[in-house]
Amino acid sequence: MPTQRYIALQMLQDRALWDVQGPRTRRASTAELHRRSTINGMSVAYHSARSVSTHRPVGKLVESTSDFSLLAAYMEAKTGCEKQGKSKMKMDSAEGEIEEVQTEEEERFIQEQEQEKLQHTWQLSKEVMFTVSAFLVLFTSGGLILGFGPVYSMLVREKQWAELCTDAEPHDEGVLCAAQEIRLQYVFSTGFLCLSAANAFFGVFLDVVGPRITIMLGLLLSSLGNFALALGDSHTGSGTWIIVGYSLVGAGGMGAYLAAFQILQLFEVQGVVCSTLSSLFNCSGYVYMLLGVHGITRKVFFRMYGILAGVCAFVCFLLFPTNNITSPRDFLYISLCHFEMPRINAPTGLVDGMREELKRQDLWFFALLFGWVSLIFAFAGGAIPSLLFNLAGDDIRTASLYTDFLYPILVNGTFGYSPIVGYVIDRYGFKVIFLACIILVQLFIALLMVPNLRVQLVMFFVYAMAQTCLYALQFAYIIMCFPAELYGTLQAFLATVSFSFGLLNYVINPWTQLYFDGNYSFVLLFLGLPTILFYGFINVVQGCEHHTISHKAKSESDARDSLTDERARLL
């Protein structure tokens, strides 16, 4: 029987094995313990334990084993474990210090990069950037082409395309032949058509390359368009450059207009600044009233305007951000002459995101309504100056008063009706505004058919209110009733439908002049009758309360899921 002292020492051996190799290790001899201790990096201080136990039978307890050797082996193993623990603690401490040093170096490197970046940048407050954007929208946006009345009068005074008239046609002052009238109306209808096409193009282009390149490209096109307007002349050429130039001013100005809206992302509350910037788009139609000032010629005016657009493009290169603004802030860092490549974002969602939305009846109803009414506005915008001249007869001063001043001032005053439309949408819903838009368009067409100048004053107000309803629906209905991530794609879809309908102007304008001798009543009746059909589908218009609530709930759910995933990743 083993003695109590042996059992105690054997227990010490088991404890040593536990510390060295873990709880599952079987009880071993002193020699085996010594061997394992040596393997783990511990020197063998006593050779007697190994020598004594070498010839011990396997699996038997041998009491002759030296008690001192067992104790020595245990103490040696225990000391080795303590050394290992201390060594591990030192290694962990060293690794922690290394990680802290690396973290400090990374933070120092990032701070140095930010400081180096700030040395090449300036800060401008959001109020200053909004002022710059407001100036750009007022003087360079596509809304310039809406002031077509003064441009029409100027081209008539210059007798542009008068050489197309035959000798059999009248050549009295203020009387235009059919071929001349067709070219004059092509100026506005083509410009309005390119405005829609640019809306679709720049809407996607802005999301892909950012505001800096977008606004520079838009202003470059606008500058080229102004120079084309200055140099175009039907007496020395075909006059095509006049039409091309007017179209480039509208298309390029639309790019500048959309890019300028990026500055609104700096503001947390965007209602006032958004409505202000939107109203300036129509106010830019007042600029061409300067063509009626005595002493200002077309070549001088548009050359100076081309230079202005070029200077604005350079200023935007200095001030506008390369990438889209995604969060509100008080200041905007500007890079001045420093050029960097934008983050190219793939235009996702154009197919997959639209697939579900194209199944909605209200989207197709709105797209057809928007496209057809835009066609009416495009045709009427070019025909109104001619109609006013015809109603004024020989009274050139009255014709100029209505065409050069009253027409652009009253029709482009849509900003005065925007708050009313917004209140009605909030108070009574979209269906009321859809009905009001259809009724106002029909009333507008009816007033155009009345051969009286004073009645046309009422027509100007109705025209402005109809435009306000249509363009308020274009933005508000899409924003409130459809997913926010598809806003640009949906606007491009509406612009594409509008562009498709606008191509009919190239058939309607010649048809009016050649087959109806410039009588607009038949064409206006043709354009107005299809609007009656829209009453039958007005019930597809949604109030959008359910969509807004469900979309908000989905956004909150996505935010919670994202937070949960982030926590799981950190853990």
Same domain, 24 and 71: yes
Structure tokens at 85: 């623990």
* Domain stop point among 89, 108, 143: 89
Of 535, 502, 520, 202, which Cα lies nearest the Cα of 370?
Answer: 502
CA 311 to chain centre: 24
Phi/psi at 225 (nearest 5 deg)? -65, -40
Q: Is residue 107 part of a domain?
A: no
Same domain, 362 and 342: no
CA 46 to chain centre: 81
Q: Is residue 451 part of a domain?
A: yes
What does the pLDDT read at residue 446?
Answer: 96
* Domain stop point among 347, 367, 382: 347
What does the pLDDT read at residue 40?
Answer: 45
Structure tokens at 41: 């990096």
Ranges of residues in the chain with a pLDDT under 50 are 1-3, 5-6, 18, 20, 23-67, 70, 74, 546-552
HSE toward the beta carbon, residue 139, CA cutoff 13 A: 19
What does the pLDDT read at residue 293?
Answer: 85
Domain containing residue 295: 122-347
Same domain, 266 and 354: no
| Cα distances (Å, whole numbers) of residue 215 to 224, 227, 250, 261, 285 | 14, 18, 13, 11, 20
DSSP string, 229-278: HHH--TTTS-SHHHHHHHHHHHHHHHHHHHHHGGGGGG-S--HHHHHHHH
Beta bridge mates, 331: 125
Q: Is residue 235 part of a domain?
A: yes
| Cα distances (Å, whole numbers) of residue 391 to 171, 292, 376, 457, 519 | 18, 20, 21, 13, 12
Same domain, 424 and 497: yes
Number of structural domains found in the chain: 3
Same domain, 214 and 342: yes
Phi/psi at 125 (nearest 5 deg)? -70, 160
What value, to the nearest 5°, has the Cα angle with vertex 352 and ends 351 and 353? 95
Q: Is residue 508 part of a domain?
A: yes
Tens-digit pLDDT profile for residues 536-559 = 999 998 876 544 444 445 555 655
Helix (H) or strand (E) holding 359: none
Structure tokens at 467: 């435009």
Same domain, 533 and 460: yes
What does the pLDDT read at residue 229?
Answer: 95
Same domain, 375 and 312: no
Helix (H) or strand (E) holding 122: strand 122-125
CA 214 to chain centre: 11
Q: Is residue 220 part of a domain?
A: yes
**Burial category of 441 from C-beta neighbours within 10 Å (exposed 0-12, middle 13-18, buried 19 and up):** buried
What value, to the nearest 5°, has the Cα angle with vertex 15 and ends 10 and 18? 130
Q: Is residue 82 part of a domain?
A: yes
Same domain, 208 and 67: no
Q: Is residue 109 part of a domain?
A: no
* Domain stop point among 65, 89, 113: 89
Tens-digit pLDDT profile for residues 519-538 = 899 999 999 999 999 999 99
Same domain, 48 and 175: no
Same domain, 340 and 464: no
Same domain, 175 and 259: yes
What distance in Å separates the CA atoms of residue 5 and residue 146, rounded to the nearest whole number?
110
Tens-digit pLDDT profile for residues 432-472 = 999 999 999 999 999 999 999 999 999 999 999 999 899 88
> Which residues, including other chains, have CB under 8 Å from residue 214's CB and lie 6 or more apart?
202, 205, 206, 255, 258, 259
Mean pLDDT of the chain: 78
Identity of the residue numbered 86 = K
Structure tokens at 393: 């007869």
Q: Is residue 554 part of a domain?
A: no
Please report, for the domain that includes residue 521, its CATH number: 1.20.1250.20
Same domain, 335 and 356: no
